[in-house]
A and B are shown apart, each in its own frame.
Chain A
Amino acid sequence: MTGAGFDPATTAADVIIVGSGAAGSMAAWSLTKAGLRCLMLEAGRDYDPQAEVNMMAPESDAPLRGASTPDKPFGYFDATVGGGWEVEGEPYTMREGTDFRWYRSRMLGGRTNHWGRHAPRWGPYDFKPFSRDGLGVDWPIGYDDVAPFYDRVERMIGVNGGRIELENHPDSPPGCLMPPPKPRIPEMLLKATCESMGIPVRTAHTAVITRDMPDKVAPRSACFNATPCGRGCTIGAMFQTTTSFLPMAKATGRLTIVTDAMVSKVLMASAGRAEGVEYVDRKTGARHKVKARAVIVAGGTCETTRLLLNSGDKPGGLANSSGQLGRNLTDSTGASFRAFVPALAGRPRYNEDGIGGQHVYIPFWLYQEQKRGELDFARGYHFEIGGRFGIPPAAALPRVWGADLKKAVRTASGATIGMTLRGEMIPNKDTWCEIDPGVKDRFGIPVLRFAFRWSQHELNQVAHGQRTAHAVFKRMNATILDPELPPEKLITAGGEIIHELGTARMGADARSSVVDSYGQTWDVGNLVLMDGAIFASGAHKNPTLTILALALRASERLAARFKSGALA
């Protein structure tokens, strides 16, 4: 789907955009609409969901019944192609004692082709964490600065959801959200159980449309309540940039996309001004230089950071006078809890597919207790909820054989519930990424080396989550399927939740941060970062909606600077 735009050999681009994921595609749509010519460089291959997504095939059509493998970690039919936890010839390394996972999608549309679609707004506390608990740093902007962009992004990408009406969980103004789907039976049981215990359960905000979104170029149809969203969506019900922003931006005639273009460094015209970038053609190994009046880097948090660390003429990399580049890396915490609920055994069957993921979730609810000092961790977490008809997990089946096993499967199908924790990690001094001085990828580009450590805050947080989940399960007389574990064994590895953030954080001044609130690097005026790297903290709320809102805000600022002649 890359196709024709303008020819970069004869026509100069106004803006180079590195990366075609959430932020890069938002930038392409916003800037081309504003009349600017954009040259997008994507490290991965071209990708067309219409031709490549096998939406309806049963898992039994796939090798190993679609089970997760190192080649396809989220299953055979998963949308991620040419990437995953490892990419051939493109390693990353770790400091001793570190266990970090780095998920890379090498494809047009990046990680929006497979993402969780849980799209909560961040709240006022999430932008001012230091003011609240003295840890980390505040953002230079607050909720009120971002809210108008949340309003617009929710309408642009299509988000369904309901009201939350809880502290630090802002509700959307009327007209922003599409109607949410009805909850399923296990979700209703969980809601009744939790609310009897003072734990709120609310309709989730999910980037799946429940009403058609007509468009001349990229029409999207309302979800038809079937097929796994992780495969990608040929009807465009799930937001991914390959069925929305990218075709829309291309239709302006002002977007040219080059795929298999691995950007190796930012080229400089002078100390404070970028000239363009150098990229390697992944198929031929040839190096190319392209120029523009501004460069946007949105290659994904760690890839963006790597590019800057590998650029410039100083040992610390480009735009790093603060020394913060590569520091403050965070991921979300993760832990999973499951139970067999005898009361649900053999329950009446109905179509429980719905819109794919959870219809309801548990937002963090303990801000007052935390403020009073009653919790042994800072920051919050939420639970995402699972539990559907299907093959029961092995742990929910008795050790029997013969007719009894068949009966047991029928009984247990639909009778398990899962609560999956996602929580905020606070940046710490032992967690960062840097250039490995001794290792290069197959293109000769130095690779990243990670150091990662959870702090006691995160460990205490998942321990609290375990106590909460187990208490909920016990209240519904359920059998807990996993052993009670110490938090170090319970918590996911760094990077495993694929929410890397913070390695080129924004701030109020050049001394303590890499970029301003518009992603503009303090050191290089026409170099703008737009992905999760610029986050000043992680929150427990999934980051993509905020990445999109900040990218829209930054793109409009950049267009205004073009208009005012600031980038002439």
Chain B
Amino acid sequence: MTQSRRETLQWMMAAAALPLARWSPPANAAAQRTPPPFDVIADWPATLPALPPTKGYGRDPDLMAPRVPWPLTLSKAQRATVDLLGDLVLPADAQSPGAGTLGVGAFVDEWISAPYPIQRKDREQVLGGLIWLDAQSRVLHGATFDSITPGQRAVLLDALTVATPAAGMAKPVAFMDTLRHLFVLGFYSLPEGKADMGYIGDEPTPGDYPGPSPEALTHLTAVLAGLGLAAS
């Protein structure tokens, strides 16, 4: 094996999986932790609904007609909340629609309903996080996350997007980290997401590979000059 698989997505995921799986981050000093902008933190749910018994697609699935064989498990309300979060974390702008509008909730549902180890672990975080998010919204505003104001949601999302969470916020922040990664994967693997990144490729180009465009070469020349490197 080499890591020369062209598919960027696969490469990045494989590369991400290898060294980090062997590494545990050092405990952060308590003094550096970021407290949330609220005093009461809801409890992380003690129990979560188990994944119903189900099977993966097996070692020899039909590659010409791919399909997801496991049942999806998010409730309608949970799916709607994930789509709502998708449109907040990756919102519509001039270049592309919001991730929720594109249905990233369906992808997250497929992911956390899959019977594989990584997905099962992510399931704990996502399901736990969705329950916690509604509980915390109730603590603060007496309503579930989908019923509070955009400003109130933003405060919560800010609190869930810190590098070094305070003790009671560790699990909720890990939930948002996982969800954010899933949103990025789910959104940018779609044609709309690829277009947003300006991705060019995935189309046969017979003949010799043309190589970088003149604009790309001009940019590289400037990069090399900036780094004090000679072109070679």
Contacts and interface: CB of A to CB of B under 8 A. Distances in A.
Interface of A: 45, 51-54, 56-72, 74-77, 81-84, 87-88, 115-118, 179, 181-185, 188-189, 191-193, 195-196, 201, 206, 210, 222-231, 334-336, 338, 343-344, 347-358, 384, 386, 388-395, 397, 399-403, 405-406, 409-410, 413, 416, 418, 420, 422, 475-477, 482-483, 485, 489-490, 492, 497-499, 542
Interface string B147-188: 000000000010001110000000000001100110011101
Contacts of B176: 401
B4 A117 contact: yes
Nearest to B56: A71
Nearest to B2: A116
B82 to A, nearest CB: 14
Nearest to A402: B91
10 smallest beta-carbon distances between A and B, as pairs: A357-B4, A390-B8, A116-B2, A182-B211, A224-B204, A181-B209, A228-B7, A350-B213, A348-B215, A225-B205
24 contacts: A54-B66, A63-B66, A63-B110, A64-B119, A71-B58, A76-B57, A88-B59, A115-B1, A117-B4, A182-B212, A184-B211, A185-B219, A192-B229, A193-B227, A225-B206, A230-B5, A348-B215, A353-B202, A354-B6, A358-B4, A392-B12, A399-B161, A410-B197, A542-B2
Interface string B190-232: 1101001111111111111111110111111001101101111
Interface stretch (B15-23, B38-46, B136-144): B15-23
Given A52-B63, A389-B8, A391-B185, A181 B211 contact: yes
A366 to B, nearest CB: 20
A186 to B, nearest CB: 9
Given A52-B63, A192-B224, A409 B10 contact: no
B88 interface: yes
Sorting the interface of chain B by its residue count into under 10, 10 to 19, 20 to 34 or 35 or more gives 35 or more
Contact of B90 (A88, A230, A406): A406
Contact of A393 (B2, B15, B226): B15
A7 B41 CA distance: 75
B107 interface: yes
B110 A64 contact: yes
A66 B9 contact: yes
A356 B18 CA distance: 21
A388 B184 CA distance: 17
| Most chain A CB inside 10 Å of its own CB: which residue of B69, B117, B198 | B198
Given A227-B6, A409-B184, 19 more contacts: A59-B9, A64-B110, A71-B59, A76-B61, A88-B59, A118-B4, A188-B220, A192-B232, A195-B232, A222-B206, A226-B202, A343-B227, A349-B216, A352-B212, A356-B5, A386-B4, A392-B12, A399-B162, A403-B93
B94 to A, nearest CB: 10
Contacts of B130: none
B86 to A, nearest CB: 11
Given A226-B202, A397-B184, A489-B23, A68 B66 contact: no
A349 B211 contact: no
Given A350-B200, A389-B8, A68 B114 contact: no
B59 A61 contact: no
Contacts of A400: 161
Contacts of B191: 58, 60
Interface in B82-123: 88-91, 93, 95-96, 107, 110-111, 114, 116-119
Contacts of B218: 348
Contact of A422 (B2, B67, B116): B2
Contact of B230 (A74, A196, A399, A492): A196
B180 to A, nearest CB: 7
Nearest to B197: A413
Contact of A192 (B11, B117, B231): B231
A24 B159 CA distance: 60
Given A59-B189, A401-B161, A409 B224 contact: no
A420 B176 CA distance: 30
B5 A84 contact: no
A416 B8 CA distance: 11
Contacts of A497: 1
A566 to B, nearest CB: 38
A166 to B, nearest CB: 15
A219 to B, nearest CB: 15
